[in-house]
Structure 1
Amino acid sequence: MVIGAALAARAAGRGYRQVAAALRRAPDTVRGWLRRFAVRVEAVRAVFTEWCGRLDPDPVLPDPAGTAWADALAAIDAAARAVHDRFGAVGADRVGGGSAVVVVPVWEVAVAVSAGRLLAPGWPSSRV
């Protein structure tokens, strides 16, 4: 997902102009994504860390990553690992029979946990 790539690039120390150019998006758009995430970075870390515990009775929580941004992204990644560890690969039926193994991508887990509201005003609420 493009927004996820932008957040990861910012956590790695890139500025919004560099990120926008790499993703071929308008700088103002990318700056908006990054600003919205910056306001809630600690809350995002807390929500995804909580989901790790909900999904795994003995979760492997990430070590501090050095910055609030990196910590939040590490928590998102840990929640995605917990989904995979709990449910394994997801089977998807193929057209014509048979099944394919599908691993749920990290940013799809982020979308599911946030109900598609990761950057939306009011998320996360106090009752996530």
Structure 2
Amino acid sequence: MFENAEIIHSYTRAQAIADEVLHDYTALASEMGFRCSFAIAHHAWVEAVRWDESDTRHGQSETGRAWDVITCAHFAIASAKHAKKAHVDRLEFTVYRIVRDSDDPTPRPITLVIHLGPGDNGEPVFTVMAPADQ
């Protein structure tokens, strides 16, 4: 239907990473065994990863928080494979994180989604999203 349609505008994954709409964690995720590009969408990043490195409360760091998200995503995928849900392109998972700018050290849950879809050139890519990113 759209074979000969003129493309008015496109926004690539590479542009989204450059604009920080997506945050690239491919290198860190590869340590967990992910073999595709791995990014965390902005709202998910703000809620579950972002941390001011000068804030030493609660023993948090941005890298540690990203690692928590990647690990929970990995286990969600492994659980789906075990449950024979291998043909889904998105999975919900929960991460417990300390809420930024709070003096309360109690970890609170946030539900995120990991999506496997096509990248800029049709290659498989993983994207972690919060409800506001979808």
Which TM-score applies when normalising by structure 1? Answer: 0.29
Structure with more relative contact order (C-alpha pairs < 8 Å, separation 6 or more): 2
Which TM-score applies when normalising by structure 2? Answer: 0.28
